Amino acid sequence: MVWTDRVRQVKILLVLTAVVIAVASLAVSNFLVRDLLEEERNNVDVWAEAMRSFNNADETTDLSLVLKVLGSNNNIPVVIVDDEGQVQDYRNLTVHAKTAADSLDYISRRARSMKAAGNYFHIYLDNTGEYIDVCFGESLMLKRLAYYPYVQLGVVLIFVVVAIFALLSSKRAEQNKVWVGLSKETAHQLGTPISSLMAWVEVLRETYPQDELIPEMDKDVKRLQRIAERFSKIGSLPEPKPENLNDVIGNVVEYIRRRTSNKVSLKVDMPDHPLIVKMSAPLFEWVVENLCKNAIDAMEGQGSITLTAREEQDRFAVEVSDTGKGIPKNKFSDVFMPGFTTKSRGWGLGLSLAKRIVEEYHHGRIFVKNSELGHGTTFRIELKKY
């Protein structure tokens, strides 16, 4: 819980930091764009005045300063049109057109859009009232500056996503270490008493060879040995072997039937021919067994469980259905989270370990196929064909 709270706090802090950076970046960029836009407007105003002086110049006018001002504009796009809207000249515009007519049409449209935005100056040529309009747009640098905060926002967002993913991966790795350590330690601790029990069973078998209970005791001891074997394999990559899926499910059904009341009905629906699947039989048996035990708990010890095995086009499918109390749809994913349980007892690790065994060790998939409150649940396991 402490680790979960810490991860949640770090995620919230990262998101808040990203929001603050984005808002600050957008605000600063907006101020800069506004100031640069005003500066460019002033520069165009000076350029327009120089153009006016150039058009009204006579033989006594010193044109050196005027020409210097006119030649200084190397970045602001400018289009000069007459009082009838005809293009007279343009500057700093990149025109992509195949013909001169297309070029003129493009420049005219640019001039009209500049005027519509209010970016133009009137220059009266003489006292007759004739004038030209100096239309201008934003420079390339200004456009880049306007787009920059959104690029920066994207970079910050990617950083936050990568950081959260790293935190979740770190959390998952730490959880895996806990499960592996707990499982191997459990197997180690079970090893000594199981060996002792096996020896005592042999002593009892020799002493009371006719006793009918001793074989049952032997089965239970072997069952404990298999459980210890399962725990010892968690954390290490098991070697999958071709197994008959029918036999694996049959072993689970036989075990559950011997240890469940007559009020629970176990039904099996499998094909007559063998279903050969590469798997770790002890681990997969534990998965199906865990689903059956959860079903019995969900039915409160009374109801029906149906196990179905099928060979489909590209996979094998196993389904475990019960007539229990069901699972809400918004909890379909939560049931596989470590610690999630609806029972008063238990740690909520069974389905989490089952998911790990199916997905990581068998490269398959386990999920809640369907569930209806008060009517039951169906879990589905899918295993790929090799």
As given in the structure block, the two tokens for residue 369 are: 């196929």
The answer to whether residue 206 is domain-embedded is: no
Of the three residues 143, 162, 193, the one that is the final residue of a domain is 143
The answer to whether residue 160 is domain-embedded is: no
- Give pLDDT, residue 1: 43
pLDDT confidence of 322, banded at 50, 70, 90? very high
Name the 3-class secondary structure at 370: strand
Question: Nearest-CA neighbor of 378 among 311, 290, 318?
Answer: 318
* pLDDT of 305 above 80: yes
In sequence order, the β-bridge partners of residue 269 are 308
Task: Identify whether residues 136 and 242 lie together within a single domain.
Answer: no
**Residue 49 structural domain:** 2-143
The answer to whether residue 246 is domain-embedded is: yes
* pLDDT tens, residue by residue, 281-290: 888 998 999 9
The answer to whether residue 337 is domain-embedded is: yes
- Give pLDDT, residue 68: 62
For residues 90-94, give the mean pLDDT: 78
The answer to whether residue 274 is domain-embedded is: yes
- Give pLDDT, residue 82: 78
Q: What pTM did the predictor assign? A: 0.51
Of the three residues 104, 120, 143, the one that is the final residue of a domain is 143
How many structural domains are present in the chain?
2
Rounded CA gap, 282 and 337, in Å? 23
Task: Identify whether residues 375 and 257 lie together within a single domain.
Answer: yes
* pLDDT tens, residue by residue, 10-48: 767 777 777 787 778 777 777 877 777 777 777 777 776
Rounded CA gap, 314 and 51, in Å? 77
The more confident residue out of 125 and 155 is 155
* pLDDT of 157 above 80: no
* pLDDT tens, residue by residue, 51-66: 666 666 666 655 565 5
For residues 95-111, give the mean pLDDT: 77
CB 115 within 8 A of CB 82: no
Of the three residues 113, 143, 173, the one that is the final residue of a domain is 143
The answer to whether residue 74 is domain-embedded is: yes
Rounded CA gap, 25 and 23, in Å? 5
The answer to whether residue 222 is domain-embedded is: no
Residue with the two structure tokens 């309009």: 133
Task: Identify whether residues 243 and 377 lie together within a single domain.
Answer: yes
The answer to whether residue 132 is domain-embedded is: yes
Q: What is the CATH number of the domain that holds 326?
A: 3.30.565.10
